[in-house]
Amino acid sequence: MRVLAAMSGGVDSAVAAARAAEAGHDVTGIHLALSRNPQSYRTGARGCCTIEDAGDARRAADVIGIPFYVWDLSDRFHEDVVADFTAEYAAGRTPNPCLRCNEKIKFAAVLDRALALGFDAVATGHYAQLRDGVDGLIEMHRAVDHGKDQSYVLGVLTQDQLAHAMFPLGDSPKSAVREEAARRGLRVAAKPDSHDICFISDGDTGGWLAEKLGDGVNRSGEIVDAESGEVLGSHEGSWRFTIGQRKGLRIGRPAADGRPRYVLDIEPVSGTVTVGTREALTVSGLSCIRPLWCGAAPSGPLECTVQLRAHGEELQAVVVPSSSGFSVSLRDGASGIAPGQACVVYDGTKVVGSGTIAATER
């Protein structure tokens, strides 16, 4: 097969490309230039989209012995990921930019272009597994290394996309991948993993959002106690808060019972931020929109598990599909869940699909 290997400049994508080539595929490596100003993105151990990373990817391709190109998708990335991230926070929601990047960039823009150029598949360094299902469809399962499993951020992929995807690392623990990279002579063998948000160079999400949204949008608002309705303080931007946040509220005085307060709700129009007890954070149900099913959609209520954060625990649940999305009843409840987050549905280790949380029930 002709395989396009997406090479971020890290160890995982380098080994994935090497394995695809060793398997006999005709592999071409590409690096995605995602920033209009690469120096503004994270560098060193925290990066995945910088000039430094492009150089690491190119050197890895040379060692593997495959052609290498850089694709400029900075405009598409800004529109589909960065602008979406900003708009979601302005609306009082909590987005996941990595999940959106996988959906809109790596497995939409890149895959579409790859197929148009005559490639058969796109290989990435994600930790997930693909299997042939008994119904003839392709199933996506959790990786062998559950500590590195990335099926959550891949839960947005459709059957058509899975049919042209390759995840060569899904059956390997991360430690083995690093050892293999060293044996292959790849200089990225010991390169630390990227983390946090690539397009916020200093890691200060609140400061970055203040710069983007600070001119007349949600400039101020009140911090209100959920039980008493008392105004406890004020703030200069609702985007500075997330559901479940405890630190940085700057209320100035403790609750009457001495217990800490947590953000329970964010109302972006008035700018009101509601706070309350930890117990009040617990939600028992979710309403999800924008459903994306990896295979066939459930035909009725599904006893399953759901994951609500990239590295969160699996929660026992019942998912009920509808014409607009699906509802989720959580068996034991969950805390700190915010609209805008993704809910990924699992049947055992198999990814069923995902949706965007629109509302929670307490």
- Catalytic positions, please? 101, 198
Q: Extract long-range pairs of 199-205: CB within 8 Å, 24+ residues apart.
A: 199/34, 199/35, 199/40, 199/41, 199/49, 199/81, 199/82, 199/85, 199/97, 200/42, 201/40, 201/41, 201/42, 201/43, 203/42, 203/46
Strand order in the sheet with 2-6: 68-72, 26-33, 2-6, 121-123, 165-166
Alpha helical stretches, state H, the chain: 11-22, 51-64, 74-77, 83-90, 97-101, 110-116, 159-162, 174-183, 205-213
Q: Name 342's bridge partners.
A: 356
CA 136 – CA 139 distance, rounded (Å): 9
Contacts of 156 (CB under 8 A, 6+ apart): 99, 102, 103, 107, 292, 342, 354
**Contacts for 289 with CB less than 8 Å, ≥ 6 apart:** 324, 325, 355, 356, 358
Task: List beta partners, residue 192.
Answer: none
Spatial distance between the Cα atoms of 105 and 57, rounded to a whole number of angstroms: 18
Beta bridge pairs of residue 311 = none
**How is residue 230 written in tokens?**
């008392």
Inter-axis angle of helices 83-90 and 205-213, nearest 10 = 90
23 token code pair? 């398997």
